A and B are shown apart, each in its own frame.
Chain A
């Protein structure tokens, strides 16, 4: 079963066989029908003898007479109504149009009464086109004809004497056409189209059988007949045989199309991917072309052989196109791609997707640019529309009201923006306890508010976290330092006791000296460590008051005088005459200055000068310490400020390396600025403070 389904050979065979079988079927049907209907066709002369011809001939004349009679009776009713209504206007108006629908009056000298010439032949059958007739109304002598002549009486005689003629005069029919003779008698007795129709009229007519030669339908019939002439003996069983085989093959193809060997599901080829409308139109066009070409080839008088081959070619091309079309339709349907393969569907989908995209973009709350564009141009358009009505008073008022409304909306929007701005400023200024009411806002502003709230919340959290961790760190350091201090107390005390023992051993005394020095340094380190952690975490209670920096400097120098003297450092002071007041906590401010002096006394080059400058500037107080370092300063100012970092060699001297860092933190806590500058061996400390008046 599967093999049959997927067999290319079988399908190919079907495609080949179907047109052949259709051809066989068509030929058989035509053969049977034509021979039974027309018998043997012998040309126009013979056609004249057929019943069909007779019926057509008679009917043409009957219709003409009936039309004339109808128009005439209508004309009489019109004239009657005109006289009865006594309206002069209509009576005066000349009737220019012909009273007969199908005829118009012509000038003629040869006949005493008016002559009407046929202008419309609406029956348009083969016979009615080639028939010649003259109909005379006996009542008024009007003549109706489709013959152009300048001697109508002569024409009447002519018609009477022509080869194939038919005439009616005073109830007598004269004709030399046998088929009409038979026909007319049949009609006269059996149908309403009897010779009574001709009552009151004289009819003379004839037809030239040779003109029938050029009649289309007769010629086609003749040609087809000629083609099949000689095959009259085709067996009639060919009809059902070919029909059944065609049906079987079509059913098979419908069932099997789209299945290919070794592939699952329905396989579509490149034709199936073309839009359905396009392929349909192209194929319909080709088929239409082929059909008209085939018909035209039959109608043209080309030799029979060429005619047949052309016709066959058209037939095959038409068939191929139809086969392609039907098979692709079926494959599309089977693959459930039928609707999707419509170009219209694709276009509709594209439009839908595009509209959705645009709509999404417009409603996108994040994209304010589009929204703004729409609102702005909406405003402009509405303004323009309203401006069109500006000259009517109400239009003007509405326009003004609309502008005021828009202004009010803008103000409202701006108010909301200001709220957001305020919140942002709060955060910027370090006060993240901001909560915007999101419900009050809408659109982008709402989203902004949400973001700001989130950021503020994040900041608050982060600050709380960092404060907590700083506090924990300080606590940890303080607690650990307590635990270290207890054993350290014993170390220091027993070292001290050892020192007092009478040892008399220079070596041991030296060892004890090292222990003493290092235990003292450890003590200092721990104290500084606790202070540094407290100060850097801001864990210090400040008691701010107005302080004279000049006084403090003098006091400090008094404290450090002997230490500096020991190192042979000379202080060069540059103080202003007036007092220099700043706001600070005096104990912590002294710690700053103390640390700076301590640093100087430890690291300044012995015998050099130390410059101290105090300056009162406009809003600020500037304090500067300058000294020459005794060691090479192979370190940046930033690194030096970092806790535990010191100039290389000084690591081996006393101190913790925290002094300057503590000084910086303390200065900043009290609102000042502490900066270190290193220029070669010149070590400079700059302190700025806000001046107090």
Chain B
């Protein structure tokens, strides 16, 4: 049972989030401004915080700064501010994720799950084990995206992903060369080992499919990024 602190001055939104997350088995603690949130944080053991930015008394950014003084628990910012500038400032202050209003409930749930898994499961319990495993077998990894080449298993946040053979090969190639950008042509030539013959957009379709499978929000991908007009890459995340 994980405790999630939801902070928003709009009670209806807090209630709605409560409904969604309690269905997923989380325990919700509610707060309606920054001050209250900090109090609740002291009183309870919290595993994740969903934090609105525009709030009375103490806004989201200030509250986040207070939290980050002594705590590393995951914080998902939830805000109507959708500008790049807002997202960057939120993430720079120490937020782990940024969801804009109006949000898709399924996306929010997915992000909550992802962050809790990473925070609870990976960081503490399995960290040492995994490192050993990495040495034993060939594991391609970026962030929480793992590819076990021997078992042909792909996992995101510890969750199994089913990929087709082509998709697996493309992802494998990009993971092996994570951080580097490859054009469609290059990907084709490297994966198929033959000259591209002009049906390049098939690769693009495949990559979209991969994104749809491994990303929480395929339009705002975390791992498999599209560099428009140049190519694709897998982000190198520690």
Contact = CB atoms under 8 A, between A and B. Distances in A.
Contact of A558 (B10, B19, B103, B203): B203
Contact of A547 (B207, B226, B229): B229
Nearest to B108: A493
A482 B226 CA distance: 28
Contacts of B81: 482
A488 B208 contact: no
23 contacts: A482-B81, A485-B102, A489-B13, A490-B16, A493-B16, A493-B20, A493-B105, A494-B16, A497-B16, A547-B229, A548-B229, A548-B230, A549-B229, A551-B184, A551-B230, A554-B184, A554-B201, A555-B201, A558-B201, A561-B208, A584-B229, A590-B226, A590-B229
For A487, A551, A555, the residue with the greatest tally of chain B CB atoms inside 10 Å of its CB is A555
A102 interface: no
A690 to B, nearest CB: 15
B140 interface: no
Contacts of A551: 183-184, 229-231
A587 B220 CA distance: 12
Interface residue tally of chain B, by bracket? 20 to 34
Contacts of B231: 551
B121 interface: no
A189 interface: no
A560 to B, nearest CB: 9
Given A497-B19, A558-B207, A561-B205, A489 B103 contact: yes
A589 B229 contact: yes
A488 B228 contact: no
Interface in B29-47: none
B228 A590 contact: yes
Contacts of B202: 558
Contacts of B205: 558, 561-562
B101 interface: yes
A82 interface: no
A555 B226 contact: yes
Interface residue tally of chain A, by bracket? 35 or more
Contact of B201 (A491, A496, A561): A561
B82 interface: yes
A530 interface: yes
A557 interface: yes
A245 interface: no
A497 B103 CA distance: 13
A486 interface: yes
Given A558-B204, A558-B205, A586 B102 contact: no
Interface of B: 10, 12-13, 16-17, 19-20, 54, 80-83, 101-103, 105, 183-184, 200-208, 226-232
For A482, A497, A554, the residue with the greatest tally of chain B CB atoms inside 10 Å of its CB is A554
A448 interface: no
Contacts of A556: 204, 228
A552 interface: yes
Q: Which 8 residue pairs are nearest across A and B when measured between Cβ atoms?
A: A558-B204, A547-B229, A552-B229, A485-B80, A590-B228, A493-B16, A586-B228, A489-B102
Interface of A: 478, 481-483, 485-494, 496-497, 519, 523, 527, 530, 547-549, 551-552, 554-559, 561-562, 584, 586-587, 589-590
Contacts of A493: 12-13, 16-17, 20, 102-103, 105
Given A483-B80, A551-B230, 10 more contacts: A486-B80, A496-B105, A548-B230, A551-B183, A555-B228, A556-B228, A558-B203, A559-B204, A559-B208, A590-B226
A554 B187 CA distance: 13
For A481, A492, A584, the residue with the greatest tally of chain B CB atoms inside 10 Å of its CB is A492
A62 to B, nearest CB: 137
Contacts of B16: 490, 493-494, 497
A552 B201 contact: no
Contact of B227 (A490, A519, A561, A586): A586
Given A482-B81, A548-B183, A557-B204, A494 B228 contact: no
A486 B13 contact: yes
A548 B184 CA distance: 11
Contacts of B17: 493
B229 A489 contact: no
A485 B12 CA distance: 13
B177 to A, nearest CB: 18
A549 B230 CA distance: 8
Given A523-B102, A555-B228, A490 B13 contact: yes
B54 A482 contact: yes
B228 A589 contact: yes
A589 B101 CA distance: 25
A485 B20 CA distance: 19
Contacts of A488: 101-102
Contacts of B206: 558
Nearest to B9: A486
Contacts of A478: 83
A637 to B, nearest CB: 27
A6 to B, nearest CB: 95
Nearest to B83: A478
A562 B232 CA distance: 20
B28 to A, nearest CB: 14
A386 to B, nearest CB: 74
A10 B82 CA distance: 107
Contact of B228 (A527, A530, A547, A562): A547
A497 B205 CA distance: 33
B102 A558 contact: no
B82 A527 contact: yes
A302 B118 CA distance: 155
A471 to B, nearest CB: 14
A394 to B, nearest CB: 79
Contacts of B102: 485, 488-489, 491-493, 519, 523
A536 to B, nearest CB: 16
For A547, A548, A558, A559, the residue with the greatest tally of chain B CB atoms inside 10 Å of its CB is A558
A478 B82 CA distance: 9
Contacts of A523: 102
Given A549-B229, A589-B229, A554 B204 contact: yes
B10 A587 contact: no
Contacts of A487: 10
A589 B230 CA distance: 12
Contact of A530 (B82, B103, B201): B82
Contact of A490 (B10, B203, B228, B232): B10
Nearest to B207: A558
A558 to B, nearest CB: 2
Contacts of B82: 485, 527, 530
For B105, B205, B206, B208, the residue with the greatest tally of chain A CB atoms inside 10 Å of its CB is B205
B227 to A, nearest CB: 6
A554 B10 CA distance: 44
Nearest to A594: B228
A549 to B, nearest CB: 6
Given A486-B80, A489-B101, A547 B230 contact: yes
Nearest to B101: A489
A555 B184 contact: yes
Nearest to B54: A482
Nearest to B105: A496
Contacts of B228: 547, 552, 555-556, 586-587, 589-590
A496 B17 CA distance: 12
A548 B230 CA distance: 6
Contacts of A497: 16, 19-20
A559 B184 CA distance: 13
Contacts of A554: 184, 200-201, 203-204
Contact of B12 (A490, A530, A558, A562): A490
A492 B106 CA distance: 12
Nearest to A548: B229
For A519, A549, A559, the residue with the greatest tally of chain B CB atoms inside 10 Å of its CB is A559
A481 B200 CA distance: 40
Contacts of A547: 228-230
Contacts of A552: 228-229
